[in-house]
Chains A and B, each alone.
Chain A
Amino acid sequence: MHPVLKTVLGRLGLGLATLFIVSIIIFSAIEMLPGDFGQAILGQAATEETVAAFRRELGLDEPPYIRYLQWVGGAIQGDLGTSFSGRNASGTDRSREVIDLIAPRLWNTLFLASVTAIIAVPVSLFLGITSALYRNSVYDRTINTTTLTTISFPEFFVAYILILLLASLYPIFPSLANVDASTPLNERLYRSALPAFTLTLVIVAHMMRMTRAAIINLLASPYIQMARLSGASQTEVILKHALPNAWAPIATVIAFNLAYLVVGVVVVEVVFVYPGVGQLMVDAVTSRDIPVVQGCALIFAVTYILLNLIADIIGIITNPRLLHPK
């Protein structure tokens, strides 16, 4: 077996192991949350018997390990359980499957993340490479200062400034990004423009600076001096000699930021009233809807692990020592 394939499979195994551990942590963390769903739903007035009956109905009286196994077993088959909300003391049950709650929201989140990534990743790479190329020039300093400024402001602030500029003063884009399954693609893109733009401003700095740093770090290598002394121009030095050796750290930071786009954008969702998975999770935490919280957390974990795995694999296949063993 080619050693690269072997390494990749190894990483995949490690990823699964990580996921398993994370699932235990998610489950235990939620176990340890203060408060009780039954008590919260039924109110202070409910008698102890009613609460106990309600807990029994939801299966909350089972020992934790049984509930963990049921949950994980279901999750593997794509069943994240049934939401707690929609039930009430009178016994009517309008609760929905967690997966049905999460799926449309997740789709929205992935859509916004993809749009942002399609803009932000090439822009960051371009800015990173060119600022390394023109290191310490006015261009480099301007790019650095600007991106640093945008990352230094809180997301909601950037969002409100953009709303003020592009929705209020110059009404080009809508300030509300309320999309749903029936929204056609072009309308979706139009409505998602401001949140995507906000997120771009938030993540570009990190990726751009890492690209710049990874390249500049290599510029001190003897092989870069060698390339210069064999007549390579600055552009050739950066693109042909530095960049091919810089992919591993760049891929890692891109993966990190893409993961953030999926799991960390709740503030932006709230500002633009974008129906993403972040808001769903916050709502579920507020209402102690444990299956939904667990489901969201698990999906976030999968996102992180998957993206980092991809970054790892990029790091491996761009390393000639691994790709072309002795």
Chain B
Amino acid sequence: MSSKAQKADHLIQINNLEIEGFSDEQWHPIIKGVNLTLKRGQVMGLIGESGAGKSTLGLAAMGYTQPGCRITGGEILFEGTNLASLRDSEKQKFWGNRMTYVAQSAAASFNPAHRLIDQTTASAIRFKIKNESDAKKDAKKLYKALNLPNPESIGDRYPHQVSGGQLQRVMTAMAMSPRPDLIVFDEPTTALDVTTQVEVLTAMKNIVKEFNTAAIYITHDLAVVAQMADVIKVLRYGNEIEEAKTRKMLTAPKEEYTKSLWSVRSLEKKPVEAQKPILEVKNIDAAYGKFKVLHNVNISVPRGSTVAVVGESGSGKSTTARVITGLLPQLSGSIEFDGAVLPKRLEDRTKEQKRIIQMIYQMADTAMNPRQTVREIIGRPLEFYLDLKGKEKEDRILQLLEMIELDGQFIDRLPSELSGGQKQRICIARALAADPEFIICDEVTSALDQIVQEGILKLLMRLQKELNLTYLFITHDISTVRAISDHVVVMNLGEVVEQGIKSDVFSPPHPDYTELLLSSVPEMDPDWLNNLNKKRD
């Protein structure tokens, strides 16, 4: 093959790329000599955990580096032009023209001050690909193709006036509007609910196929990438682990690391014997101001078990937790703990009633005072609830650290000196410090990488066995539910749709919503999305 023909075939060729990022007063390598070749019309999935450099590499394919990053070696050839050697003003001719970008958070990535249609068409008009009226007509067609409601008028709205899933589709329309050769999708469905994710994935997949656009699809979700990509590249710590065709990668990964990513979901919990309920939520109605969010919620939690509450955003699962803890007094109904009714308001509960119910939060980062050391963070409930002081307290802190599998030297660390998983472990230790019987885990693993998630879940299960703890586990992630729960409560729009033993809830027949929810969870099968859409049509 002549070199010219090869050029035409290869849209992007990245050779031995090195990128550094500036933090803690020095430059650190982020991408350490990665190669990447993308053909026209091909979709490549970039996967890896946080810190793998997948977003940095995806943006680098456009010749873009985030502020605080720099390219220190290698080349990025786009149809033979080395983007790495161009100045920003020269790269602007490619951005929004030949290549476009779809960001993770559409809500943050649309300018709040401008109407959607103006933002959708800006690039196509800027590069004179279409005139204004054609660009707008085309945008409306794209909105329609992406299954947006009211495609004729939705563009007249401002970003805050439409939902997250719709915004993500508008952003895809925006990326498609100049008919680029390449679209970089940067975790475009990570922030969406599963049922919305299915729609957005389908829309993106179809439109990329229709216009034969090449794409780089960045995600940490293997099942999602399996639907979208022709080839998959696995990254870790800025190095390439391996690359293969999607089907081959899913069935026969070569590297140990890839296999470990694939096997994360092998966690399985042995069912515990049914015991008397420790906590009963009875006929709860609750509201934020005039806006009613919970309608007659009933949940029963057997002692020593894990009850998973699943649902999408707005389903009322976190509100239920707030009512149980007394942070949001209910309008009607009651919360019974060991048969005794708990006062509605946190202020009216005794110290003992507060002690036995503890909570662990999704964002370990913001749930800890950044100026307190681990000693102070864990020591505070020991002092407050159990009156421990001095050596006794110190010994107990060390004991708790041992329980969460952290070394005693962590006692003097600040939260900023801990990794994401370690932070969440400290939050678990803080909850345990009160010596509780019942712990509410609110999306505790949602912000963590899969391998770290597995560690946290295993820890929680071990602690449950050792300390006979009861968990109310709030999550939107069905695979986590499958892994760790005994009982499952499905919530939607502030109501309990279904509840029962895990095996019952997960086996048909299902109520409509449970069916929709369960069928929307992506599977590792590359044909899953196509089959699902066939079935739904």
Contact = CB atoms under 8 A, between A and B. Distances in A.
Contacts of B114: 240, 244
A273 B103 CA distance: 61
B126 interface: yes
B109 interface: yes
B127 A220 contact: no
A231 B108 CA distance: 18
A320 interface: yes
A154 interface: no
B96 A223 contact: no
Interface in A231-270: 231-234, 240-241, 244-245
B122 A230 contact: yes
B160 A326 contact: yes
Contacts of B112: 223, 245, 320-321
B531 interface: no
A269 B90 CA distance: 53
A219 to B, nearest CB: 8
Given A223-B110, A223-B112, A244-B113, A230 B160 contact: no
Contacts of A228: 64, 92, 95
B78 to A, nearest CB: 14
A62 B88 CA distance: 75
B438 interface: no
B21 to A, nearest CB: 15
Interface in A15-49: none
Interface residues of B, number: 32
Given A229-B95, A230-B174, A220 B111 contact: no
Interface of B: 62, 64, 66-67, 88-89, 92-97, 100-101, 103, 105, 108-114, 122-123, 126-127, 157-158, 160-161, 174
A245 B161 contact: no
A320 B95 contact: no
A233 to B, nearest CB: 6
B116 to A, nearest CB: 11
Contact of B101 (A226, A324, A326): A226
Given A320-B158, A326-B160, A230 B109 contact: no
Contacts of B109: 222-223, 225-226
A92 interface: no
B129 to A, nearest CB: 11
B73 to A, nearest CB: 23
B26 to A, nearest CB: 20
Nearest to A230: B96
A95 B182 CA distance: 83
Given A230-B96, A231-B93, A223 B108 contact: yes
B111 A225 contact: no
Given A222-B103, A326-B160, A231 B113 contact: no
B440 to A, nearest CB: 31
A318 B114 CA distance: 11
Nearest to A319: B112
Contacts of A220: 67
A230 B101 contact: yes
A286 interface: no
A321 to B, nearest CB: 5
B126 A231 contact: yes
Nearest to B105: A222
Nearest to A324: B158
B127 A231 contact: yes
A221 interface: yes
B160 A231 contact: no
Given A223-B109, A244-B113, A324-B158, A231 B67 contact: no
Given A225-B109, A226-B111, A241-B111, 7 more contacts: A222-B105, A230-B174, A231-B93, A232-B92, A234-B88, A240-B114, A324-B160
